[in-house]
Structure formats: structure tokens, C-alpha cells
Amino acid sequence: MQLTKDTNILIIGLGVMGGSYARALSKQGYRIRCITKDASDIAYALDEGMIEAGATEIREDWISEAELIVFALYPLTFISWMEENGHLLKKGTLITDVSGVKSGVISKIQALLPEGVEFISAHPMAGRERSGVAFSDDSVFLGANYIVVPTEKNTEEAILLCEELGRTLGFSRISRLSAKKHDSMIAFLSQLTHCIAVTLMNCNDSKDMEKYTGDSFRDLTRIAKINENMWSELFLLNKDALLAEMDAFAEEFGAFRKLLEDEDVEGMKEKMRASTAKRLKFDKPKGNILP
């Protein structure tokens, strides 16, 4: 199977991510059908020219005609959908997702697949702070990472098509990771940072702090404005990896605290020199386009 303008693509779930997929693909002439729960989201997407057709109910004909189905649902909703409707998928259909956690999702989905249906998991690493199709915006894919997460059950053909989908959406870097490596990377880079931001925001109740706030505090707490339904679900599905990262952070934080308590200035400076050197590698590539 190749991704062409004639490929029958169905998106299930038209939120901010499903909407961004629809925008990116329809702009390039792909014809997209969509199943989602709110009629108003379909009306919006039709009006914006993002989809060719939409439905709020399960359309068995669309599901059986689809060659590629993108599940743009929260992970637990994706799993429930498959439990209820997985049997409707037809042999030869390729399905993919957008879940931000993998180990806890992939094994459950693979167990629910009918004969001849392949699931290739992917994580488009381009989050938005706002949810809903009205905030969909495919420009966020530019400069961002698209990670394909194959297992031993996947065919090379499906993996290549999934990578092609990532390129077509406009992502700048396409890579492959195992589910375990993906989840541990996400636990550190994304989930731990959100735990820290929420904690920092909640750990001091003094009044009037906002009057004196500078950019450092604002930067560290930007993501403390958080979609609690999505993130609590993602944390839970990646519990072990996240707890491990939280413990590593707490231990390092405790070590720094001890240096300060002991007035070990040289020790503190060493930590600061290490963080300065490490952080240089994380600077944003110029022009926001990765090679």
C-alpha cells in the first residue's frame, strides 16, 4: 500500500490533533472522511474545507471502505472504541493513532485487532495548550518530531507508510523508537516537566506573587495550565516510567539541597556548570527546521 491522493483515509475523533491532521492532508488534495461525536465540529470542518464528509454515528460502510484509519482519540477512548467496534475493521486496513504513551496502548489494541488488520502506532510530538477542532493548526507540525513506534508484529510496509504519513503531514523529523524507549523519553521530556510545573504552581500560597513575577517563573509554569483529563490519563498509562523519572528528579533535587545546606559552594557550582553544558545541546535549531 502506498499513500496517494486516492487513498481512502478516515479520521476518527476530530479534536485539536485530528483537526490538524485533516487540515494538513486536505490542503494537499487528500479526501478525508471523519467520524466524531459532535455535529458542530463536523459542520466547522466542512465549512473550513478540512473534510469531505463527516458523521457522528458509526458508519460501517466508511470503516470497511477505509484503507487508512487515524484514531485521534485519547488513549482510553481509543481502547474502548476498539472493544466495541474493532470487529468492523476489514482485512487489509491499516490503522494508526496519535497517543502520547505507547506500551500501555499498543498491546491492548493489538489484542483487539481482527485478522488481517495492522496497527502501526505513531506519536506526533506537536502539542497545543488548547483543545478542540477550532484550535487545530497544522503549522505546529513544522519543526516537530513524528515518532513511529513499531513492534515485532508490524510489517516493514506499514512502518514505511506511517513514516510517509508523518512527512506528508509536514513533520520535520521522522524517527523510530521502541515502545519502551518512547515511553521513558516521554516520561522525562514531557510528563516530568508537567509534574514539575503543576507542583511549582501549587507549592506556595503567598499573596501578590504575580506582581513580582519575571520571565523565569512564567516559563517554568506555562504548562501548569493543563488539560487535566488528558494528562491524568497519560500519566496513569505511563505510571512506571514516570515514577522512575520523578524519583530520579527528587533524588537530584535532594542532592542539590544538601549542597546548599552544607554551604558547599564548589559543589553547587559544579552542578551549575554541568547543567549549563548539557543545556547547550538542547538549544532550538535555527529556523525551527530540523535536518
Residues 68-87 touching a copy of itself, rule: CB under 8 A, are: none
Based on CB atoms, which residue is closest to a copy of itself, 26 or 238? 238
Q: Spell out a b/e string for 110-135, using b for 16 or more CB atoms within 10 Å of the CB, else e.
A: bebbeeebbbbbbbbbbeeeeeebee
Residues 162-201 that bind a copy of itself (CB under 8 A): 173, 175, 184-185, 188-190, 192-201
Based on CB atoms, which residue is closest to a copy of itself, 5 or 281? 281
Of the chain, the end-to-end C-alpha distance in Å amounts to: 27
Count interface residues toward a copy of itself (CB under 8 A). 85
Q: Which of 47, 115, 156, 261 binds a copy of itself (CB under 8 A)?
A: 261
Based on CB atoms, which residue is closest to a copy of itself, 96 or 238? 238
Residues 10-39 that bind a copy of itself (CB under 8 A): none
Residues 123-152 that bind a copy of itself (CB under 8 A): 125-127, 144-145, 147
- Closest approach, Cβ 238 to a copy of itself, in A, equals 10
Q: Spell out a b/e string for 210-242, using b for 16 or more CB atoms within 10 Å of the CB, else e.
A: eeeeeeeeeeebebeeebeeebebbbebbeebb
Span near a copy of itself by CB under 8 A; candidates 5-13, 47-55, 106-114, 223-231? 223-231
CA–CA dist 179, 157 (Å, integer): 19
In contact, 23 and 138? CB cutoff 8 Å: yes
